[in-house]
Amino acid sequence: MAEVLVFHHGHGLTAGVREFAERLRRAGHRVHVPDLFEERVFSRLDEGIDYAESIGFGTVVERGTAAAEELPAELVYLGFSLGVLPAQKLAQTRPGAKGALLLEACLPVSEFGGAWPQGVPVQVHGMDGDPFFAGEGDVDAARALVGTAPAAELFLYPGDRHLFTDSSLPSHDEHAAAQATRRVLDFLARIR
């Protein structure tokens, strides 16, 4: 059993994020899902990103860090898109990290002080034609991570949808999301 801290994407804590967390719980994992947007859920991604910009991306990361401080250090950090900011930061900088699952985003490891921590496994998932993931450099950051961290994996899915893993959004891709979920569950099953 892994203990997982899940960070939502720019729409907020949607029903799809909650459902994904529940799937992890049903597989036997202990899952925490803080609300970084203080109960705000946005129907359009641009509205959610505008909100994140208005409070500051640093505030989003700080809220994620505060959520982690209440939990044991031995966590797997999972982020969806915008949620990758706190997930990746914590995986790289908080001692005790057991792993990271970066869904539909990835930042250069230099954003958080250098090399990926030795012995911390990581998976990155995204669509090969996603205008955010593939078009804004995240896939390049993911490839660089895989090239330098021995326990890193990159999974690319055919398509151009962002947030394909969220079953409550129109961008959901059932087939790709099912594949990603299986890979996430396999990853968590290997955590000791």
**0.85 exceeded by the pTM?**
yes
pLDDT of 89: 97
pLDDT of 192: 81
Residues of the chain with pLDDT under 50: none
pLDDT of 33: 98
pLDDT of 114: 80
What would the two tokens of residue 131 be? 């205008």
Residues 39-72 have pLDDT tens digits of 999 999 999 999 999 999 999 999 999 999 999 9
Residues 108-128 have pLDDT tens digits of 999 998 889 999 999 999 999
d(CA 77, CA 74): 10
pLDDT of 96: 96
User: Per CATH, is 3-189 categorized as 3.40.50.1820?
Assistant: yes
pLDDT of 152: 96
